[in-house]
Structure 1
Amino acid sequence: MSRERLLEHVDRMQEAAQQAFDLTEGMSQEQFLHDIRTQLAVTMSLVLVGEAAARISAGDPGFIQDHQEIPWTRIKGMRNLIVHDYYRAELPVIWQTVRTDLPALVSQLENVRHWRVQGE
């Protein structure tokens, strides 16, 4: 995979993760559990994060090995659950992922992007 394409996928992951977080800003878990529009928007954002991760994994397995701090398997697993078995997805788990895990992921992706831009 070209460097430009790899960075594009990293950017897409970061943008979709930030969007999912932003969509829930100012909401309580209870509000989220009763807001179908936000649930659908957030789950679509998580699908986009997972899809970009899957493309990186398929196109540049070495990159995945170099950046094991990112939970690639869990990201792709959540994407697969949402896409293939949406009704089994547990909304409290999605809420926790968005509010707790995504800010760290956005930061990790920012670090990875700068690492790659520097060519190290």
Structure 2
Amino acid sequence: MELHGTRRSGKQSLPGFREAHPEIVWHRPISLHNRIIHGYWSIDIDVLVTTAQRDLPDLAQRLDKLLSAAHR
């Protein structure tokens, strides 16, 4: 999954997509995106690396499945 290309996916997702999938905790990746983009000088690299290693693989896999199903 290419997350770089989803820079606004949380806010500007397919109509109703976020609401249809409440199992994704949408505010967390949106908040992380905003922190990286708008507050890079205050990012704790250790937290960012831990998040990327621990949370991102599962989120990417879940989103891949949801998006694949939505495009069928």
Partner of residue 100, structure 1: 54
Partner of residue 21, structure 2: 67
> What RMSD over aligned residues (CA atoms) do the two structures have, in Å?
2.1
1: CA distance between counterparts of 2:6 and 2:71?
22
2: CA distance between counterparts of 1:83 and 1:114?
27
The sequence identity of aligned pairs, in percent, is 28
| Larger of the two Rg values belongs to structure | 1
Partner of residue 31, structure 2: 77
Per-residue deviation, residues 18-53 of structure 1 (Å, max 9, x unmatched): xxxxxxxxxxxxxxxxxxxxxxxxxxxxxx366132
TM-score (norm 2): 0.77
CA displacement at 1:97 relative to structure 2: 0.9
Q: CA 1:79–1:50 in structure 2 vs 1: closer, same or farther (change >3 Å)?
A: farther
2: CA distance between counterparts of 1:88 and 1:100?
21
Unpaired runs of at least 5, structure 2: none
Which 4+ runs in 1 deviate beyond 3 A? none
2: CA distance between counterparts of 1:75 and 1:49?
14
2: CA distance between counterparts of 1:49 and 1:74?
18
Unpaired runs of at least 5, structure 1: 1-13, 17-47
2: CA distance between counterparts of 1:51 and 1:114?
18
Report 1:1-120 matches (<5 A). 14-16=1-3, 48=4, 51-54=7-10, 57-118=11-72
TM-score (norm 1): 0.51
